[in-house]
Amino acid sequence: MSYDSYPAPADVEAVGCVGIGTIGGGWAAYFLSRGYRVEAWDPSPDAEPKLRRLIEAAWPALTELGLADGASPDNVRVHAELPGAVRNVQFVQESAPEVLDLKRSLLADIDAAADPTIVVGSSTSGYSMTEMSGDAASPGRLVVGHPFNPPYLIPLVEVVGGDRTDPEAVRWAADWYDHIGKSVIAMDREVPGFIANRLQEALWREALHMIDSGEATVDQIDRAITDGPGLRWPVQGPMLTFHLAGGEGGMAHMLDHFGPSLKSPWTRLDAPELTSELRDAVVAGCDDEAGDRSVADLIAERDAAIIAIQRVISGIREAA
Amino acid sequence: MSYDSYPAPADVEAVGCVGIGTIGGGWAAYFLSRGYRVEAWDPSPDAEPKLRRLIEAAWPALTELGLADGASPDNVRVHAELPGAVRNVQFVQESAPEVLDLKRSLLADIDAAADPTIVVGSSTSGYSMTEMSGDAASPGRLVVGHPFNPPYLIPLVEVVGGDRTDPEAVRWAADWYDHIGKSVIAMDREVPGFIANRLQEALWREALHMIDSGEATVDQIDRAITDGPGLRWPVQGPMLTFHLAGGEGGMAHMLDHFGPSLKSPWTRLDAPELTSELRDAVVAGCDDEAGDRSVADLIAERDAAIIAIQRVISGIREAA
């Protein structure tokens, strides 16, 4: 389909939420805070009271972040049957449990009941849309829109289509999530675990190995992150962090001088060969990201953030 | 040696800093802010003006964090020869470049010149003290005290001895860093990369693989962390994060239900076998860490931190 045959993101008024547990309910709270009407469905018998409690618990935070005009926590209806949640909406977010057969049949059901011109996003954290869309009659509008917990606070959404997804639907989903204030990463190919979960999973698996072999305790793993590199990561990701580790020479200096450490047994994961192509791609990417910020600017930004973050967290702990 | 033959941490008045580049200079700034006299040495001809600039740049942040009584940025002397920096001090922090032969010979020289009753900490991020202490006459007092950049802001210090290190010297170093306000992880065995760098390195290597294979760009890697899981990590490390991902059932539910995903190709690093021993150790560790905080308490703490962290960072970016 052409991009324009989907409703314009700015014209969306209602969103369907299929599956309203922790993730789907978090999405519902977020959509409500952005001023949308939410039509929801979940087969669980206590889904509605749970959803109301989740929205109530999230609302003070969402209010603090700033509500859209007309936003109301009451602007949600929980339907007895699936079709009620996917008709008369301009987008559907599916957040069912991570069970492939369930996702396949549910996406086929959503596809069968929803207006054919709207895009359907799946919150899956692990399956590819190629795997999940196999039973759907019109898989072209089925897209992964992978959030992070809690979806009403963490900005990141990873967007990627499957083999049969319409590239315009992927583009539409990226625009839509961006329109509602999310930080969108649109991937041009399916990679198991997408991007953030691959990175997170590498760290998690190394941590499990260390605990398994008695090299570290649970508490040491967590403190190694919260009191160490974790303090830098909300402000500068792993690449820009190492750009600064290179001093004035930035990532180029870092890779040229510390590249051999990639052969060190510092983790169970072997590194790729540091070819000149890889080296140049990493350096160029960091230079692009730094933009017109000098190394001194980046250091000032990092230091101010580290101080403020520590202060924020100790304030929250003292208040508790 | 017995613990008491080292100077009591509370009695330390002066610290020697050998190597005063980015890391050693950052340590010097931190020691000064805690009210210590710093005696420094570095073979580089422009070491002193660089150190003065680094201290000057760091001082506003250190002032904001709170200075100890009598702390002054001027309380530092840069010596022409190594011995001047390691005599009449009660602790020495070595922060030379990461070159094994250099570290070995420098630690031997420090050991030969310093008062025999004091502990010497090395900032090495990669070598074991067993490798580095081979040329020293009294390796018993040589300990790794690995900081994170910038050492004047990031609390974490990893402490570990080598084969010939006196366990009481390791204990002393842990107490000393704790005394000056650091968050100390004392390891009971040498592991290449210690703990935090192993975790950070696993993430970094997976990122390099993804860039190398065209699966992600530098900007996508960084944004996947800064706008995603990185927002949770300063407040709750990777283990406690997944404790919350298990809902009310915590880490036990998480491992029992999502354990099979450890076999998924979500990163290039294979996970360990999830034995019942590993499962129980991880669950117990998370329960210990959570202490008397319920899942609801931990969620409230996480959410408050995520909101405040995002606000802090956007404030800093707008001000710049």
Contact A220, B195 (CB under 8 A): yes
Cβ contact, residue pair A203, B204, below 8 Å: no
Please compute the mean of the pLDDT values over residues A163-175 and round it to a whole number.
98
Query: ipTM score of the complex?
Result: 0.95
Q: Which residues of B touch A102 (CB under 8 A)?
A: none
Distances (CA, A) of B17 to B29, B77, B293: 10, 10, 41
User: Which is nearest to A208 in space by CA: B125, B185, B277, B250?
Assistant: B277
Contacts with B99 (C-beta within 8 Å, 6 or more apart), sequence order: none
**pLDDT at residue B246, as a whole number:** 84
Give the bridge partners for B183, in sequence order.
Answer: B156
The token duo for A124 is 């899956």
Give pLDDT tens digits for A95-120.
999 999 999 999 999 999 999 999 99
Give pLDDT tens digits for A71-93.
999 999 999 999 999 999 999 99
Which H helix or E strand runs over A49?
helix A47-65
Closest Cα in chain A, distance from residue B25 (Å): 13
Give pLDDT tens digits for A10-49.
999 999 999 999 999 999 999 999 999 999 999 999 999 9
**DSSP character for B272?**
P
DSSP string, A216-269: --HHHHHHHHHTTGGGTTTTS-HHHHHHHHTGGGHHHHHHHHHGGGGGS-SSSS
The token duo for B133 is 């202490």
**pLDDT at residue B237, as a whole number:** 96
Scanning A115-154 for CB atoms below 8 A from B yields: 126, 148-150, 153-154
Out of 3.40.50.2300, 1.10.150.120, 3.40.50.720, 3.50.50.60, select the CATH number for domain B3-186: 3.40.50.720
Closest Cα in chain A, distance from residue B280 (Å): 11
Q: CATH 3.40.50.720 in chain A: give the residue spans.
A: 3-186
Residue A158 pLDDT class (50, 70, 90 cuts): very high
Contact A79, A85 (CB under 8 A): yes
Whether the upstream peptide bond of residue A150 has omega within 30° of 0, thus cis, is yes
| DSSP helix/strand/coil, B253 | helix
Residue of B194, B232, B264 to mutate when probing chain A, most A C-beta within 10 A: B232
Q: Helices A295-319 and B47-65 meet at what angle, rounded to 10? A: 30
**pLDDT at residue A308, as a whole number:** 94
Residue A1 has pLDDT above 90, yes or no: no
| Average pLDDT over chain A, rounded to an integer | 95
Cβ contact, residue pair B235, A228, below 8 Å: no
Using CA atoms, how far apart are residues B295 and B246, in angstroms rounded to an integer?
10
Using CA atoms, how far apart are residues B8 and B128, in angstroms rounded to an integer?
26
Give pLDDT tens digits for A274-293.
999 999 999 999 999 999 99
A68 touches chain B (CB under 8 A): no
**pLDDT at residue B308, as a whole number:** 94
Scanning A96-115 for CB atoms below 8 A from B yields: 98
**pLDDT at residue B248, as a whole number:** 82
Give pLDDT tens digits for A218-271.
999 999 999 999 999 999 999 999 999 888 889 999 999 888 889 999 999 999
Cβ contact, residue pair B156, A223, below 8 Å: yes
**pLDDT at residue A198, as a whole number:** 96
pLDDT by 10s per residue, chain B, length 320 = 899 999 999 999 999 999 999 999 999 999 999 999 999 999 999 999 999 999 999 999 999 889 999 999 999 999 999 999 999 999 999 999 999 999 999 999 999 999 999 999 999 998 999 999 999 999 999 999 999 999 999 999 999 999 999 999 999 999 999 999 999 999 999 999 999 999 999 999 999 999 999 999 999 999 999 999 999 999 999 999 999 988 888 999 999 988 888 999 999 999 999 999 999 999 999 999 999 999 889 989 999 999 999 999 999 999 88
Give the bridge partners for A14, in sequence order.
Answer: A37
**Cα four-point dihedral sign A188, A9, B227, A292:** positive
Pairs of CB atoms within 8 A across A/B: 364
Please compute the mean of the pLDDT values over residues A170-188 and round it to a whole number.
98
